[in-house]
Amino acid sequence: MRETGRGPEPHPLMLVNARIIDPSRGSDFHGDLYVAGGVIKDAAFGLAAAGIPEGAEVVDCRGAVVAPGLVDMRAFIGEPGAEHRETLASASHAAAAGGVTTIACQPETDPPVDDPAIVDFILRRARDTAVVRVHPMAAITKGLRGEEMTEIGLLQAAGAVAFTDGARSLKSAQVLRRALTYARDFDALIVHHTEDASMSGGAMNEGAYASRLGLSGIPKAAETIVLERDLRLVAGTRARYHAASLTCEDSLDVLRRAKEAGLPITASASINHLSFNELDIGEYRTFFKVAPPLRAEDDRQALIRALASGLVDVIVSDHNPQDVEMKRLPFAEAEAGAIGLETLLPAALRLVHSDAIDLVNLLRALSTRPAEILGLKAGTLRPGAPADIVVFDPGTPWLLDPAHLKSRSRNTPFDAARMTGQVQRTIVAGRTVYEYV
């Protein structure tokens, strides 16, 4: 594996003999793609046969897919304040190795992202240290305390792409209503974690398996009650709203009714909830402790169907690095969270290999839809768009070794998992930032 960082202006690049998928246009064809000046110039069948521009690097992509780079809407990064868990630099290298060219990072830092100066700090640090694009989400409330609203307009002007309190759900309906009202006036996006804190003190999904393990459970109602409340507030304010991570069939029923009513809402599911169910916890395997918790298999299958139908718009990594001391504890005491930037694409490809979803729609949920929702110039291979591209072989089998991951933490639920589909090259603004050798 080879990584390249910042440097002089990249040479023009011609990707030839590729299967080119552009979900933004619904296109899927075999051909070539030409990049110059950091932007996509053209993508067509027989482009290379018409002549290779002088000085262009030619990459033979036979057997590989060329697609827009992935856009991850939900990644927790420790910088500033918890650099021992993850830095912007380490997260960006993990992202590049996973084909992720854009990260939307969460505001749960120390200090939290509730001031324009912190937004500016993250943008400058990312510019200086990261190899992929990093866009901060800002806090809805000051100090993430759920009480006093932040300055949405000033934070948006500083560069915040959305507003969220991360993994914290707002208890006060009035605070959320005010935030939605102000966000509407700025056409800002509210991203909310739908989990009632008074009902989510357990360790795993409530049910027979939790009882068998002797662990306290978190009911599905903890999610659906908050989602129902939120969508009633959206109906009254008409603000743009995104449910951060839905996990159960009951929530999907609520989401479906709201979308049918024409509310301006979108939703994500994490790759963890699409890949695993509560039984994967096995004998107290803490790498499978996530928040919200893994649900029953029926819920997982319902999420997959909702993704395939477009009811669920986006797949997120829910990247949440935790150091070993916080995971090497009894299950009930261990911190929730799993890393996921580097495994997002190969894990998602399992859904294609099982015929649950076609590749174009999967890539739409991983790139085009999150870019559209966040208002970013990404998720497309249209001429003139930034050359943020992933090249991957969907058929390459490999075994995941956590020691080879680029994140500073190793809390992956895919430890020793057999994967099919490997990133070969990641390109950001026309520059190769990761290459598998």
The secondary structure of 394-421, three-state, reads: EEEEEECCHHHCCCCCCCCCCCCCEEEE
Measuring CA to CA, which residue among 136, 80, 66, 140 is closest to residue 103? 136
DSSP annotation of 288 reads: G
Task: Tell me how far CA of residue 366 lies from CA of 162, 203, 222, in angstroms.
Answer: 18, 29, 27
Measuring CA to CA, which residue among 302, 252, 246 is closest to residue 270? 246
> How far is Cα 435 from Cα 5, in angstroms, rounded to an integer?
11
- Longest Cα pair distance anywhere in the chain, in angstroms? 67
- Active-site option among 32, 115, 250, 318: 318
Distance between the two ends of the chain, CA-based, in angstroms?
5
Beta bridge partners of 427: 389, 432
> How far is Cα 174 from Cα 155, in angstroms, rounded to an integer?
21
| SS3 label, residue 95 | helix
* Helices 116-129 + 88-97 axis angle, to 10: 60
> How far is Cα 261 from Cα 57, in angstroms, rounded to an integer?
50
Q: Could you confirm whether 120 is annotated as catalytic?
A: no
In angstroms and rounded to an integer, the radius of gyration of the C-alpha atoms of the chain is: 21
Measuring CA to CA, which residue among 302, 244, 196 is closest to residue 76? 244
DSSP one-letter string for 378-394:
-S---TTSB--EEEEEE
Measuring CA to CA, which residue among 278, 280, 219 is closest to residue 251? 219
Residues that are catalytic: 318
